[in-house]
Amino acid sequence: MDAIGYIRISQKDQSTHSLEYQEKSIRDYCDRNLIKLGNLFIDNGQKSDTFDRADFKALETFIKDHKGKTKVKYLIIFDHDRFSRNLPEALQKIESLEKKYGLKVIAVTEPLDIDTADPSVFLLRAFKYLIANQELLTIRKRAKVSARHAQESGRYINLAPYGYLNGRQPGGKMILIIDETKAYIVRKIYRDFLAGVPRFMIFKEIRELGFPHSSKSALHRILTNPLYAGLVRVCASGNIPEKIIKAIHEPIVTESQYYRTQEMLGLSKRLMQSKPKDEFPLKGVLLSPCCNTLMTAGWTKGKTKYYLYYRCIPHSGINISGTMLHDKFKELLNYISFTPSFIDKLTQRVPQLAKGMLDIKDKRFKILQTQLTALEVKIENAEQKLFDDTINAATYKKWMKKFNAERARLKDEFTYLEDLDDRLQQELLTLPYMLNLPQVFADSSLNQQHAIIREVFKQGITYKEGMFRTPCINPEFEFNRLILKEKGLLEIEQPSGDFYKVPSCGEGGIRTLGTVARTSV
């Protein structure tokens, strides 16, 4: 044996040379140079900036164990970037192998008799490692930018946390999917914590329900992870601070539950800095009066204090006072109300829906009772099999974890259904409040406020010449149009009745609002 070989590929370094190609190149090199290749060490998916790799450690152990026994002269590699992408560590490792074991490191592009002591060879290799090092940094930067872009679009691209599964959307992009077999434990953790249950008791109960992590810090990680509230943490980058934005995946708990939990944990100060800004309720929905793009918002420093302004991004000269806009919008909401006919329909419809839900509840109760009875039979059978030595204790324990988790889920649903009557009564009592749009808006979260604005002003809203303007208002609020205009609060620039007509093609193929499609009778 004259030589040993080493090949490596990383999951992240984007090498175009497969392990098979590297191995073939090394074997061909040994055949051409009439040297016998012994062991071949392979690191698959290992990092390139450190020698702390499984098979490279095995390689060094092999060299140490065979020192003086088997004369190995060469360590053949495909290329120096397969050996390492860390310039100082690579050169130090080559020097160490040569001085300590008399082992020459050679790439298949280099001659067998290369003089590694030649300064020109040293410089050439140093240059190669420098290029490899630069490529590694470029790859890392590209990956970091890509990851941040994914985060800013509300996407989580790492391994799914407990309660979620990694899935893919139709286009192939990753997305978190709720794992309902585990999500109820996450909900229980938040619910119990907010109810004041001590953490050691929560941990004990969820462990009995099948929670797999034995470390108590796992409970803290779940309570502080914004992913469960449908939020993604965008990491700090340069001068850009960390922030939390709305995610594209479905939440397991509500944002309210999450932020209340952070307050109870004493983490509210740090987290609220990255929470979506509630002081800019119109940011993301208010359109620029000059180009119809969404306006941004921020604070501008004056001589003595800061002032809130909404700004047009493409046209920096367009700035509107945020304080004035908020006061005007609050006044606008005070004059928007539902039509009497809509209120009548709603007050008649809600009790009917409540009755329908109670009927469904009774049917669901029967299904749950059947499922619970069947589950109890399975538990009894498992106990009998353990008693009869048909299954061992480990299998029994595995089964019981699954059965206990399912039983807890069923009982949770039982509890939910039992409280349904009281909840429906409470909702009926709060119906007048739900019809008070200004109050509902004031009590809503930022995302809910945006949803309300988009529902009321279907085609967006802008502010121009001292009043809000929109091409269309939801028909349920149409009857407020005259008073809103008289008060100088809102101008509907295109009556909503015309908006909902589908325009047809006029003469010459031009689509016009005035031409109405006709059909022959």
Encode pLDDT of 317-374 as tens digits: 888 998 899 999 999 988 887 767 766 776 677 677 667 777 777 888 888 889 889 9
Q: Mean pLDDT, the chain, as a whole number?
A: 78
pLDDT above 50 for 411:
yes
pLDDT at 434: 62
List, in order, residues 6 or more apart from 69 with CB less than 8 Å away. Answer: none
Higher pLDDT, residue 302 or 207: 207
Predicted TM-score (pTM) of this structure = 0.35
pLDDT at 496: 44
The tokens 């809000």 sit on which residue? 468
The pLDDT confidence band at residue 251, using thresholds 50, 70 and 90, is very high
Higher pLDDT, residue 10 or 11: 10
Q: N- to C-terminal Cα distance for the chain?
A: 96
Q: What is the mean pLDDT of residues 396-411?
A: 81
pLDDT at 279: 73
pLDDT at 512: 33
pLDDT at 67: 76
Cross-strand bridge partners of residue 504? 512
Measured over the CA atoms of residue 312, residue 313, residue 315 and residue 321, the dihedral's sign is positive
pLDDT at 269: 42
Give the model confidence (pLDDT) of 126-140 as tens digits.
666 666 666 666 666
Q: What is the mean pLDDT of residues 439-453?
A: 78
Q: Is 438 exposed, middle or buried (0-12, 13-18, 19+ CB in 10 A)?
A: middle
pLDDT at 143: 63
Is there a contact between 98 and 148 (Cβ–Cβ < 8 Å)? no
The pLDDT confidence band at residue 429, using thresholds 50, 70 and 90, is low
pLDDT at 162: 94
pLDDT above 80 for 71:
no
Higher pLDDT, residue 156 or 273: 156
Residue type, 511: R
pLDDT at 19: 82
